[in-house]
């Protein structure tokens, strides 16, 4: 055995765990996944690093204290964010993954047969509270779905020239607001702002009337670059720790009035929700697929050999306040994205811009090719003109107060799925 073989074994579809809940084909967290997060629980309110397995969380701080997990850094797991662990680098991530995969495997007795130890290091997800998994020094949001950019361009600019000329040349992106990134489950207050109503000369101040989601995924930078030293496309994936679901809440009316010429600002800065579990790029390896054909061929600094897209199924549901049943409003796939994560990171750093451990990079709204696979209500309802019928709770042009929006995502393996959990938020009424 060697490290490469050990790593390949963690991806083996036939590997099963001794925790039954991890072997449920519908579980997001089988032994092949092992995503990292930050949690506390009723018995211990200290935030610490955990890994989801089935319906449980493995407490890595407790596991290390018990001598069952070695990591090069001292105490990187007894922390309220993953940054210090992530900063150890890829070899450390893999080493921890390999150790956990073995410890949780059906045939490994160390933890399986020790009830007292299990009580110390396993916490039921139902009893845990989850937090933002990383301290986020910087947040970039890209715009890398060709379908989404085309839809938005057709609606707000020119349907005949919907895609701007720079779009096929580079992964267009902008800096987002890192301070208001929140973890799934955090209620989101409808923003106030300036609205330019069609029948009035001047804007009015009031609550957003066109509140929307953007179904995105985000990646977490695992190894940054120094100022002035770009990351090459071919090397970029080695700088990525893992991925989360991301909802880039958007106030369309505020956006339309404010965004020329410097881009979206208050329309996006009030909240961005991410899922609590970071699924590592290592766990996603079996689901690598070819990215769409890029035509024209990108400039040299954006080229990379091989397959750099990932086959990740995505869904969004909307549940009105007091409704029992949620309605699925879109189904799409991350593999549709035109620009890859590697190209996004190479593009942002080609100017010399530095990145840091924990930086969050959003994909941009993920829209598929069909009109039931769009990643925003703006597109699904064509700016409110074609409201969606919900199973329960009427119709929706945009989000209403009390609505809960939930993003889910998973890679489908043979008999198991590598899932991302939930990225959910309920809308509170605007501040009066």
The residues annotated as belonging to the active site are 148
Of 8, 84, 6, the closest CA to residue 286 belongs to 8
- 261 scored as a contact of a copy of itself (CB under 8 A): yes
- Three-state DSSP class for residue 120: helix
- The stretch near a copy of itself (CB under 8 A) out of 56-64, 99-107, 192-200, 408-416 is 192-200
Contact with a copy of itself (CB under 8 A) among 198, 260, 322, 324: 260
- Neighbouring-strand partners of residue 195: 204
Contact with a copy of itself (CB under 8 A) among 29, 77, 241, 270: 270
Nearest distance in Å: CB 40, a copy of itself: 20
Nearest distance in Å: CB 399, a copy of itself: 15
- 258 scored as a contact of a copy of itself (CB under 8 A): yes
Q: In which region does residue 185 sit, left (phi positive, over 0), alpha (psi from -120 to 50) or beta (all else)?
A: left
- The stretch near a copy of itself (CB under 8 A) out of 60-68, 106-114, 260-268, 414-422 is 260-268
- 198 scored as a contact of a copy of itself (CB under 8 A): no
- 425 scored as a contact of a copy of itself (CB under 8 A): no
* CA 212/CA 292 separation, integer angstroms: 27
CB nearer to a copy of itself: give 238 or 299.
299
- 7 scored as a contact of a copy of itself (CB under 8 A): no
Nearest distance in Å: CB 42, a copy of itself: 26
Taking each helix axis from N to C end, the angle separating 3-10 and 90-104, rounded to the nearest 10 degrees, works out to 60
CB nearer to a copy of itself: give 177 or 288.
177
Strand (E) or helix (H) holding 428: strand 417-428
β-pairing, 192-195 vs 204-207, is: antiparallel
Contact with a copy of itself (CB under 8 A) among 238, 299, 369, 415: 299
How many residues bind a copy of itself (CB under 8 A)? The answer is: 63
CB nearer to a copy of itself: give 222 or 409.
222
- The stretch near a copy of itself (CB under 8 A) out of 37-45, 63-71, 190-198, 278-286 is 190-198
Nearest distance in Å: CB 50, a copy of itself: 25
Nearest distance in Å: CB 68, a copy of itself: 36
Return the residues of window 134-163 that contact a copy of itself according to CB under 8 A.
137-138, 143, 157
How far lies 174's CA from each of 78, 139, 162, 319, in Å?
34, 9, 19, 31
57-61 own/partner pairs: CB under 8 Å, 24+ apart: 57/122, 57/123, 57/124, 57/125, 57/128, 58/100, 58/104, 58/121, 58/122, 59/120, 59/121, 59/122, 59/123, 60/96
* CA 53/CA 32 separation, integer angstroms: 9
| Helix, strand, coil tally for the chain in percent (to 5) | 25, 25, 45
The overall longest dimension of the chain from CA atoms, in Å, is 73
Residues within the interface to a copy of itself (CB under 8 A) = 137-138, 143, 157, 164, 166, 169-170, 172-180, 182, 189, 191-194, 196, 202-205, 227-230, 251, 254, 257-267, 269-271, 296, 299-301, 347-348, 350-356, 359, 431
């Amino acid at each position: 055995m060697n490290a490469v073989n050990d790593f390949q074994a963690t991806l083996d579809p036939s590997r099963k765990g001794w925790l039954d809940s991890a072997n449920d084909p519908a579980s997001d967290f089988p032994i092949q996944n092992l995503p990292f997060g930050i949690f506390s629980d009723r018995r211990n309110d200290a935030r610490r690093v955990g890994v989801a397995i089935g319906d449980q969380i493995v407490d890595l701080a407790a596991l290390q204290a018990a001598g069952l997990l070695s990591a090069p850094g001292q105490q990187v797991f007894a922390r309220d964010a993953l940054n210090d662990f992530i900063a150890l680098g890829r070899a450390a991530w893999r080493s921890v993954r390999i150790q956990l995969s073995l410890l949780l495997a059906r045939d490994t007795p160390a933890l399986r047969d020790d009830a007292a130890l299990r009580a110390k290091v396993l916490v039921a997800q139902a009893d845990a509270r989850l937090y933002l998994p990383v301290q986020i020094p910087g947040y970039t949001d890209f715009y890398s779905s060709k379908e989404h950019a085309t839809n938005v361009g057709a609606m707000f600019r020119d349907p005949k020239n919907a895609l701007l000329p720079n779009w096929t040349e580079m992964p267009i992106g902008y800096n987002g607001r890192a301070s208001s990134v929140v973890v799934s489950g955090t209620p989101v207050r409808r923003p106030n702002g300036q609205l330019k109503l069609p029948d009035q000369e001047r804007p009015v101040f009031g609550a957003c009337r066109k509140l929307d989601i953007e179904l995105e995924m985000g990646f977490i930078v695992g190894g940054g670059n120094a100022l002035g030293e770009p990351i090459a496309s071919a090397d970029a994936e080695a700088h990525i720790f893992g991925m989360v679901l991301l909802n880039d809440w958007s106030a369309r009316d505020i956006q339309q009035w404010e965004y020329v010429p410097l881009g979206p600002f208050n329309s996006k800065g009030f909240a961005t929700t991410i899922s609590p579990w970071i699924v590592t790029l290592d766990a996603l390896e079996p689901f690598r697929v070819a990215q769409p054909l890029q035509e024209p061929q990108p400039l040299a600094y954006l080229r990379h050999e091989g397959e750099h897209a990932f086959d990740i199924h995505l869904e969004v549901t909307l549940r009105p306040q007091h409704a029992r049943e949620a309605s699925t409003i879109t189904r799409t796939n991350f593999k549709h994205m035109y620009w890859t994560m590697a190209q996004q990171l190479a593009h942002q750093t080609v100017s010399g811009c530095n990145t840091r451990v924990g930086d969050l990079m959003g994909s941009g709204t993920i829209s598929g090719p069909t009109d039931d696979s769009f990643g925003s209500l703006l597109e699904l309802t064509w700016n409110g003109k074609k409201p969606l019928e919900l199973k329960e709770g009427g119709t929706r042009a945009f989000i209403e107060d009390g609505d809960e929006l939930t993003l889910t995502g998973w890679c489908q393996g043979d008999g198991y799925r590598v899932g991302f959990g939930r990225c959910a938020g309920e809308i509170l009424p605007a501040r009066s």
